[in-house]
A and B are shown apart, each in its own frame.
Chain A
Amino acid sequence: MAKLTFKTDNCKGCGLCVDACPKHVLQLAEDKINKKGHHPVEAVKEDECIACAFCATMCPDCIIKIER
């Protein structure tokens, strides 16, 4: 069971993490807007996360922390 933490205020909503995730755990929160004015990333199926860190590997803003 992996735990995902996002520094949501720094997310620019580019979605590169969403595309990188092989388990489709992530999505951009269409109903939320962060301080920067972007739809930030959120985990919708955290229980399916395998902690491969592909999302964090592609995140340009280093906002994802992954623990297992």
Chain B
Amino acid sequence: MVVFEKPYALTDVPMHYCPGCTHGIVHRLVAEVIDELGIEGRTVGIAPVGCSVMAYNYFNCDMIEAAHGRAPAVATGVKRAEPENIVFTYQGDGDLASIGTAETVHAAARNENITIIFINNAIYGMTGGQMAPTSLPGQITQTSPYGRDVTQCGFPVKVCEMLSELDGPEYLERVAVNNVKNVKNAKKAIKKAFQNQLDGKGFSLVEVLSSCPTNWGLTPQNALKWIDEKMIPYYPLGVYKDRSAAKEDTK
């Protein structure tokens, strides 16, 4: 009996990510959810610009590569044209929370019936480790060599908290993939975010605290520790919005 194997929704193309980068874990979780829901044949994924730009090579469903930050707008077009299809975007922090902030906020405000997987690793990975909108105060990066100075470059953008103030979105949850327990929780959240779309409930975003060992200058193991010790205290895990559950509670 097979206990574990690569999900069908992932292709056989070896992923280009650095050793220990948790993008691969999140790709697998998305693919497992697609398998379990039996939706590969009607799923369209939107890849961002950033480290996961080539995600279109890794998923077996139809894929679109969007301009930097524009994935929610592209997803809006795809979903409006073919409402029966399941549409997800996979975006990093620079893509979603910096150059694409407007597209993110307004897709959420419209309660666009799409699923967004948001990788927050507090850095621009693809370009070699520059300060991201989500880099922590004091975090050293290539473009904040003395540590992120909040008096000069402002504070990190807390996406789940920010979007939770809108009436639009259906579901917002922050998870992490730094240990087995958290990975299992992340999968549950991702599955819910897809199920919501199947149920026509609307905009669902899962923020995944993820590691970047290369640009953080840490071993893969210490990078996971850094998520636990530095990121989670600043970006608390949990459900930030679940409109349907809230409705159930008030019944």
Chain A interface residues (CB < 8 Å from chain B): 2, 9-10, 12-16, 19-20, 38, 51, 53-54, 56-62, 64-68
With known contacts A20-B180, A54-B180, A57-B184, A65–B23 Cβ distance under 8 A: no
Given contacts A14-B220, A20-B180, contact A62 B28 (CB under 8 A): yes
- Please indicate the chain A residues that have their CB under 8 angstroms from the CB of B19 in the complex: 12-14, 38
What are 11 A-B residue pairs whose CB atoms fall within 8 Å in the complex? A14-B20, A14-B213, A20-B180, A53-B4, A57-B25, A59-B24, A60-B25, A62-B24, A66-B2, A67-B1, A68-B3
Asked if B251 lies at the interface with its beta carbon under 8 angstroms from chain A, I say no
Bound: A66/B224 CA distance, A: 24
Q: Are B21 and A60 in contact (CB under 8 A)?
A: yes
Cβ-defined contact, B15 with A60, below 8 A: yes
Taking a contact as CB atoms closer than 8 A, the residue among A13, A15, A65 that contacts B5 in the complex is A65
Contacts of A9 in B (CB 8 A): 14
- By a CB distance below 8 angstroms, the chain A residues around B21 are 60
B24–A61 CB distance below 8 A: yes
Instruction: List A contacts of B1 (CB < 8 A).
Output: 67-68
CB of B180 within 8 A of CB of A60, answer no
Asked if A15 and B6 make an inter-chain contact with CB atoms under 8 angstroms apart, the answer reads no
Interface size for B (C-beta < 8 A) is 28
- Chain B residues 201 to 251 lying within 8 A of chain A, measured CB to CB, are 213, 220-221, 224
For the complex, what is the distance from the CA of A58 to the CA of B21, rounded to whole Å? 10
**B residues near A53, Cβ cutoff 8 Å:** 3-4
Task: State whether the Cβ of B17 lies closer than 8 Å to any Cβ in chain A.
Answer: yes
Digitize B131-150: 1 where CB-to-A-CB distance is under 8 Å, 0 elsewhere.
00000000000000000000
- Our pick among B14, B18, B180, B221 for the contact of A15 (Cβ within 8 Å) is B221
Which residue of A has the minimal Cβ distance to B178? Answer: A58
- 10 shortest A-B CB distances, which residue pairs? A60-B24, A14-B20, A12-B19, A14-B19, A66-B3, A66-B4, A14-B220, A53-B4, A56-B4, A65-B5
Contact (Cβ within 8 A) A58 B25:
yes
- Min CB–CB distance B11 → chain A (angstroms): 10
A35 to B33, CA, bound (A): 31
Which residue of A has the minimal Cβ distance to B58? Answer: A62
A19 touching B20 by the CB < 8 A rule? no
Query: A65 to B4, alpha carbons, bound, how many Å?
Result: 5
Chain A residues contacting B24 (CB-CB under 8 Å) are 59-62
Q: Which residues of B contact A58 (CB under 8 A)?
A: 25, 179-180, 183
The residue among B7, B15, B184 with the most chain A CB atoms within 10 A of its own CB is B15
Q: Give the complex CA separation of A12 and B19 in angstroms.
A: 5
Asked if A60 and B20 sit within 8 Å, CB to CB, the answer is yes
Q: Whole-angstrom distance from the CB of A67 to the nearest CB of chain B?
A: 5
Residues of chain B with a CB closer than 8 A to A2's CB: 3
Question: In the complex where A12-B20, A58-B180, A60-B25 touch, is A19 in contact with B3 (Cβ < 8 A)?
Answer: no
B20 and chain A: residue at smallest CB distance: A14
Residues of B within 8 A of A38 (CB): 19
Q: With a 10 A CB-CB cut-off, give which of A16, A19, A53, A67 has the most chain B CB atoms.
A: A16
